[in-house]
Amino acid sequence: MRRHGRKTVGLLLSGVMMLSVLAGCGGNNSTDGESANGGGKSDGETVKLRMVESLTSPKRTELLQKMIDQFETENPTIQVELISPPFDQADNKIRTMLAGKQDLDVMEVRDLNVAEFVNNKYTEPLDAYAAKWSDYATVTATAKSVGTVGENLYFMPSGLYLRQMFYRQDWLKEKGLEVPETWQELVDTAAALTDSSKNRYGFSFRGGPGSNGTTDTMILSYNGDNVNLDDSQFTKDGKTIYSTPEAKQAMELYMKLYKEASPPDSINWGFSEQVQAFTSGVTGILLQDPDVIQSLQQSMDEGTWATAPMPKGPNGKALMAAGASGWGIPSYSKHKEEAWKLIEFMSSPKQNTAFSKDYGLIPVHTAAAEDEFFKTGPYKTLLDMGNQPDVFVSYKPAFQYPGTGQWGQVSAESQQSFLLGKTSLDDLLKKWDEYWANEKTKMQK
Amino acid sequence: MNNRKLFIVLSLVPALLLVLVFTCYPFFKGIVMAFQEYKLFDLNNVPFVGFDNFKAAFDDPKFMHALTNSAYWVFVSLFFQFVIGFALALLLKKPFRGRGIYQGFVFYSWALSGFLIGMIWKWIFNSQMGPVNDILMRLGIIDERIGFLSDPKWAMVSVIVANVWYGIAFFAIMLLAALQSVPGELYEAADMDGAGTVRQLFSVTLPYIMPTVITTTLLRAIWIFNDPTIIYGMTNGGPAGSTHVLSSFMLDKIIYAGDYGAASAVGVIMIGILLLYTIFYLSVTRSEKVGDF
C-alpha cells in the first residue's frame, strides 16, 4: 500500500513536471496568441506597449521612466513597460527579441545597427507617421539624416552626439600655449604639455575599442574636400580614403601623437580610461561626445577645463558626423499607432530638450539652439561648429555596409600593431584600403 | 511490470527534455552553423559553405596565435593555481584563531564574476593610474612605468596573473575538503615509521587525495580553456591581438563581427581539442577513482 502510494505520487509529480516543462517551451506561442487578441480589441481598452532601451545607464533609465510616467498620465488608456537590459548586452538582447518576434512596440535603434535592422526587415518606416506630426517641421536636418536609410526614416533620434575638444585651460596657460586649431597644432601642443616624469601627458589617447574615432576622423579631415560626403569611406573619384597620400600624412602624425604626447599604456585604453585620465589630471586634451560633460563638471574644478571645436586638417576643414540613437517601431508590432504616439511625445520639443539637458546631448529640434543652456558653457562650441558648415563639414558615416560592424575591431587591432612597430605604415593603409574596396565590391554585387 | 516501465520512462522525460532543449539543441545548432555563412547583418540568407569557416580560421594568423596562447593560458595558469591553492589548503587544514574569516577571504575571489575580475585587474595594472606601478615606483624597484597591458611582452603575463588569482580559491576549497577526509591514523602510522613532514606529504597525503587532484585539474583545465571573461574584461585580446585565446577570439567574432558561422567553427575546433585532451589526460593518469570527491 505504502509502496503503491509512493509510486502514484511519483507518477503524478513527474507528470506535473513534464507539463510545466512543456508549458515553458510553449510560452512564446501562448503570449503571442494573447497579444494578438489584445491587439484586435484595443479600442477603448488599455493598450500595453513594450519598449526596450539600448544605451542603458541608471540615470538614463530614470529619465526615460519619468517621461513615460508623464505620457501615461496624459494617455490613461496606454501603459508602457520599459525593458532596460544592461548596456553591454542590450543590442544582442534586442536582436534576439526581434528574431524571435517577441512582443515589442518601441525599441532603441542606433546609427550603428539601423542598416542591419532594415536589411533584416525588422523596422517599420516612420515617414507616414512623421508626416502627420506637427513638430516634425522643426526637427533638424542632421537628426533626420541620421535616422534615415535610403529614402525612409527608420528611427527618430532622441538626441545627437557630436565630438568636440576638451582641454586643460590651466595647463595651457601655465605653458603659455594657444588652444590648438589644427591636428598639427594639437600634436605640437600635446607634446609640449607632456612630461612623463610627472606622469603628465598631452593627449587622452584611445588605442583600444573605438580608436577609429580618432584615426578615421584624422584621415577624413586630411582628405578634406576630396571625400565623398555621402559615401564617406571613399573619395570623389571612388578610391578609398585610405589610399591617398593625405591618409599617409594623417597616420604619420597619428604615430607622433601616440609616441610623443600620449601615455604609452593608452594603446589599449577604451572610453572609461580615456575619460578617467583626463578627469584625474594625467592628460591635458580629450576628444569626446557631450555626454561626458556632466562627469567632467562633477569631478573637475571649474575654470581648469574648457571646450573648443574639433581640430581641422591641413586645408582648413574638419569632417564631422553626428551620432545618434533613437526610437523605432518593430515591423511586426501590433500597436503601431500607440507606439508612434509615445515616440512623438518623447520627441516633442519640450520633452526632448529637457532630456538632452539632463543627459548631455544636442536636442533634435532647431528651436533648442535658442535656449540659453546650449548657448553658453561647454555646449556652446557644439552649436558654433554647427553654425559653420563650410569649415565643419558634415558627412554620412558608412553604416550601410555590412562590414561597418567589424570595422572598429579590425581598425583598432591593426592600428595597435602599427603603433607597436609590428606593421609598417604602408601595410596598414593597404590593409584598410583592401577592407573597404572589398566592402564596396560586395555591396555592388 | 509494464506499469513500472512506464513509470521509469515518464520519470525520465522531464530530465531528458531539459537536456534536449538546453544542451543538445544548442550543441547541434552550433555544429550546423559552423558550416554556414551565418552573419547578423543578413539573417534571411544563411547558405551552407562547407569547410570555408574552418579554412578561414586556420588561414588566419590571429587564430594560430590564439591557439598557442591558449596553451600558455591553460597550463601556466593551472600550474600556479594548483600549487598555490594546494599550499593554502595545507595551511587552512590546521585550526587556528580566525580561520573562518581567513578562509572567507581565500574563497572570496571564487564568488566574483570573471568579467568583473578582468575590470578590476585592468585598473590594478593600468600604468598611469594603477597601484602596481605606483608601488613599484615608490619602492624604487622600477624607474619607468611598465605598460603591463599595453606591452605585448607583459600583457599575456598580466592576464595570467589575474587568472591565477581567480582560480586559487577553487583548488583551495576542493583540496581542503579532500585533505580533511584523510584519516588521522595514516599520519600516526607514518610517524611511527619515522616519516618526516615532507615524506608524509608525498607518501600519504598526495596518494590519498590523488583522485580529487586528477578530477579538479581536469575540470579546471577545461574551464580555463573555455573562459574568455577575464581576458575580455582586461585587454579585449589586445594590444594587437596579442592576448587572444581561442575562447576570447570566438567571442570577438560574435560581438564585433556578428559572424556566428566563423565563431561556431572556432567553437567546434575547441570541442575537438578538449575531447582529445580529456581522453589523453584520463588515459595517462589512469586512476580508477576519478570522479570521487
- Kindly report the pTM of this predicted structure: 0.79
Backbone torsions φ then ψ of A352, nearest 5 degrees: -65, -40
pLDDT score recorded for residue B111:
86
The pLDDT of residue A439: 92
CB contact under 8 A, A116 and B258: yes
Question: What is the nearest CA distance from B59 to chain A, expressed in angstroms?
Answer: 16
Query: Mean pLDDT for each consecutive 10-residue tract of chain B (293 residues)?
Result: 86 92 91 90 84 92 93 96 93 86 85 90 88 90 87 92 93 91 88 87 88 91 94 87 93 84 94 93 71 48
Q: Where are the alpha helices (DSSP H) in B139-196?
A: 152-180, 184-192
Residue B197 inside a domain? The answer is yes
List, for residues B190-226, the tens digit of each pLDDT value: 888 888 888 888 888 888 899 899 999 999 999 999 9
pLDDT at A316: 94
Q: Which residues of chain A have pLDDT under 50?
A: 1-3, 5, 9, 11-13, 15-42
Whether the CB-CB separation of A166 and A278 falls below 8 Å is answered with yes
CA B131 – CA B127 distance, rounded (Å): 8
Helix, strand, coil in percent for chain B, rounding step 5:
75, 0, 25
User: What are the strands, taking DSSP E only, across A252-349?
Assistant: 283-288, 305-308, 318-320, 323-328
Do the domain assignments include residue B221?
yes
Task: Indicate whether B271 belongs to any domain.
Answer: yes
**Cα-to-chain-centroid distance, residue A66:** 22
d(CA A192, CA A186): 10
In a domain, B89, yes or no: yes
Q: What does the pLDDT look like over A296-316, one tens digit per residue?
A: 999 999 999 999 999 999 999
Of A255, A406, A381, the C-alpha closest to A318 is A381
Closest-CA residue of A relative to B154 is A265
In this predicted model, what pLDDT tens digit does every residue of A387-417 receive, in sequence order? 888 999 989 888 888 888 789 888 999 999 9
Angle (CA) A155 A161 A163, round 5°:
150
Give me the amino acid identity at B291: G
Q: Do A95 and B40 touch (CB under 8 A)?
A: yes
- Answer yes or no: are the C-beta atoms of A412 and A212 closer than 8 Å: yes
Binary contact (A405, B145; C-beta < 8 A): no
Probe site for chain A from B9, B20, B40 (most A CB atoms < 10 A): B40
In chain B, which residue's Cα lies nearest the Cα of A95? B40
- Is the residue at B209 inside a domain? yes
Domain count for chain B: 1
Residue B195 is assigned to a structural domain of this protein: yes
Domain span at residue B245 reads: 51-285
Question: CA-CA distance, B65 to B236, in Å (whole number)?
Answer: 15
- pLDDT for the residue numbered A41: 42
Domain membership of residue B290 (yes or no) is no
CATH of the domain at B243: 1.10.3720.10
Evaluate whether residue B78 is within a structural domain. yes
Residues of B contacting chain A (CB within 8 angstroms) = 7, 10-11, 13-14, 17-18, 21, 39-44, 126-129, 144-145, 147-152, 155, 235-241, 252, 256-259
What is the number of CB-based contacts under 8 A between chain A and chain B? 114
Domains and CATH numbers, chain A: 44-161+324-364 (3.40.190.10), 164-321+387-444 (3.40.190.10)
Judged by CB atoms closer than 8 Å, whether chains meet at A270 and B236 is answered as yes
Q: What is the pLDDT of residue A105?
A: 96
**What is the distance in angstroms between the Cα of B137 and the nearest Cα belonging to chain A?**
11
Nearest CA among A323, A370, A398, A344 for reference residue A159: A323
